[in-house]
Structure 1
Amino acid sequence: MFKYGSFYKDLRKEQEITQTEACQGICSISKLSRWENNQVEVEFSTAIALLKRINITLDEFTERANIEAEFELPDEIVTAIKDEDVPVLRKYAQDHLAKYHASKNILELKNIMLVCNKLLLIEGKNYLTTADIQRIGSYLLHNTVWSKYNITLFANSPFLLNSEIGFKIAMRIVHNFDQVSDLTDNLTIFMGGLSDTVIAFIFKKKLDYAQQLLDELRKIELPPHFMFFDLTLTFLQRGIDYCQTGNEQPVLAIFNNLIQLNCSRHAQKLLEAFKDVKQIWEDNE
């Protein structure tokens, strides 16, 4: 919420609440002042407390501040992601990483996670430094409320984060599921990001993490129109079983079922993921 300190300032002044009244018992006046001038970050829990002090909920704040726009990428980069244009994506990532390393503004880092994640999947190379990964991991790990923005950020991060941090964050999201369960858009991002996290654990041969997270996801009662996620979770379980037994027939049966249900695009996406899993596990036999 670094970029939005100035927006908070406008809302505070609209209600004629002084800085002293807004931050008493939460943080120092100097820290609030620096945040409101976009000079520092505040902990997510601090931001939530400050919002409550001016009678604004997180959802109201994110909607009015249009926080989801932070993930908007230039059209040419969106096209490059679809076309897997590595030179264009690499230059974009390197340029923005250079800006981040110079400014330490975490927004520069957040806004290229999708590009870095895509490059990792295409090239097998992580352009983030250990410190970059630790900062994103720390930011996500200390969240107490999962807005659409933060869920989207995590959904773009599972292959970049180290397994231990990724597992802790994923379990934290699952255990705060009620905060987003009534929002269809968030639920799609929520389940998609966590499903990708299970796949990331399988790729990294962390089957214990993959199984524990999958077990938690299977406990969630999804609306009827989210049936395709039930199929995805079944696929993930059979993928884990394949890694342990080498029997691919139960996995292939999933693809046949999806095709019969006229879900050929979903079947193709899962098939590509399974091919990658097979290659990773067979290459190390």
Structure 2
Amino acid sequence: MTHYGNIFRTFRLDRQMKLSQVAGDGLSVSQLSRFEREESDLSVTKFFDALEKINVTPDEFMGRVNHYERAEQIKLMSQLARAHYRKDIKRLEQMVVDEENKVLADQENKVARLNAILFRGMICDLNPSRQMRQEDLDQVSDHLFCTENWTIFELILIGNLFKFYETSYMYRLVDEVLQRKELYQDIATHRNLIEATLLNVIEICIDRGDLTAAKHYHDKLMPLLDNERNAYHRILQLYFKGLLAYASGDKTGEQQMRQVVQIFDWIGATYHQETYQEHLKRQLEKYSHIYK
């Protein structure tokens, strides 16, 4: 009953009830107190009896639990983004340990198990010498294709881990996301994740030499960038469009990539300017044989 004790206590205090008013009939004050401090669990029967005494329905209680867990997950994803941006591998490793400890405390805590895999993926992304475990990737796959109603959590898993799968399975994951239009069409946060995922897919397709697939996903991306809502993604789209052209033998793509690097410089986006300047240098070296 992860977090249940603390949430139960909040409900009890909201109703201005003492522990002694809830305890009784096989549930002592000390048992209830330990439960609220999350030092021990209650049996299902005792838990529902306690809910009834504070006049809270199971649906109402679980609604609060789900809200709490979503808030915790959003906070965790924010910490992940900061650590990845700063290339703070030590922080990411500690986040893995924290999630694994949650799993040790509650073997049914599937979210913590998946979080640990996600964080390990971020470490591998920052340090290519580290390899993702196949068993971790299999767990994520099982979760994705056994979960009917995807949420932002599933989009985050796919968006950050798809690159570790072999190419055909990577396409399968991304295509599955694109088919679930109801998940992202009218939700800005979700749509932002889909745009970022497609940009990453385009880059990886080019890197793996599948220019046909890169063009396919570029075509899928364009309808999502139908306004100026996300200028950053529109700028990146121009960069990867240039890269796709350059990798396909069209030297004008180089100029387009250079223009994007210049845009980042003009707007003072130093990190992005340096990142894509270095990326451009690597791409020119990689495809130099085409233009000899």
Task: Show the counterpart of 1:84.
Answer: 87
Q: Percent identity?
A: 12
Task: Show the counterpart of 2:154.
Answer: 150
Q: Deviations over 1:216-245 (max 9, x none)?
A: 112335333223322222221222222333
Task: Show the counterpart of 1:250.
Answer: 256
Q: Does 1:196 align with 2:200?
A: yes
Q: Distance in 2 between matches of 1:280 and 1:141?
A: 37
Q: Which has the higher contact order (CA 8 A, sep 6+)?
A: 1
Count residues with an aligned counterpart. 233
Q: Distance in 2 between matches of 1:136 and 1:279?
A: 35
How far has the Cα of 1:105 moved from its partner?
Answer: 5.4
Q: Deviations over 1:237-278 (max 9, x none)?
A: 222222333843331122224444665555444445445555
Which amino acid letter does the alignment assign opposite residue 88 of structure 2?
D
Consecutive unaligned residues of structure 1, counting only runs of 5 or more, are 5-36, 38-53
Relative distance call for 1:255 and 1:83 in structure 2 (3 A) is closer
Query: What is the RMSD computed on CA atoms of the aligned residues?
Result: 4.4
8 Å contact 1:180–1:187 — kept in the other structure? yes
For 1:25-44, list aligned pairs within 5 A: none
8 Å contact 1:117–1:159 — kept in the other structure? no
For 1:1-285, list aligned pairs within 5 A: 64=67, 66-67=69-70, 69-70=72-73, 72-73=75-76, 80-90=83-93, 92-93=95-96, 103=107, 106-141=110-145, 143-220=147-224, 222-245=226-249, 247=251, 248-260=254-266, 266-275=272-281, 277=283
Relative distance call for 1:100 and 1:203 in structure 2 (3 A) is farther
SS of residue paired to 1:112: helix
SS of residue paired to 2:224: coil
Relative distance call for 1:160 and 1:112 in structure 2 (3 A) is farther
Q: Distance in 2 between matches of 1:61 and 1:149?
A: 18
Q: Distance in 1 between matches of 2:268 and 2:152?
A: 30
Q: Distance in 2 between matches of 1:281 and 1:220?
A: 29
8 Å contact 2:124–2:132 — kept in the other structure? no
8 Å contact 1:90–1:119 — kept in the other structure? yes
The alignment's TM-score, normalised by the length of structure 2, stands at 0.60
8 Å contact 2:195–2:224 — kept in the other structure? no
Q: Distance in 2 between matches of 1:203 and 1:168?
A: 18
8 Å contact 1:145–1:176 — kept in the other structure? no
8 Å contact 1:202–1:240 — kept in the other structure? yes
How far has the Cα of 1:161 moved from its partner?
Answer: 2.8
8 Å contact 1:117–1:157 — kept in the other structure? yes
8 Å contact 1:119–1:126 — kept in the other structure? yes
**Highest CA radius of gyration, 1 or 2?**
2
Q: Distance in 1 between matches of 2:143 and 2:282?
A: 30
The alignment's TM-score, normalised by the length of structure 1, stands at 0.61
Q: Deviations over 1:79-98 (max 9, x none)?
A: 65344233453465478569
Q: Distance in 2 between matches of 1:117 and 1:134?
A: 13
8 Å contact 2:120–2:132 — kept in the other structure? yes
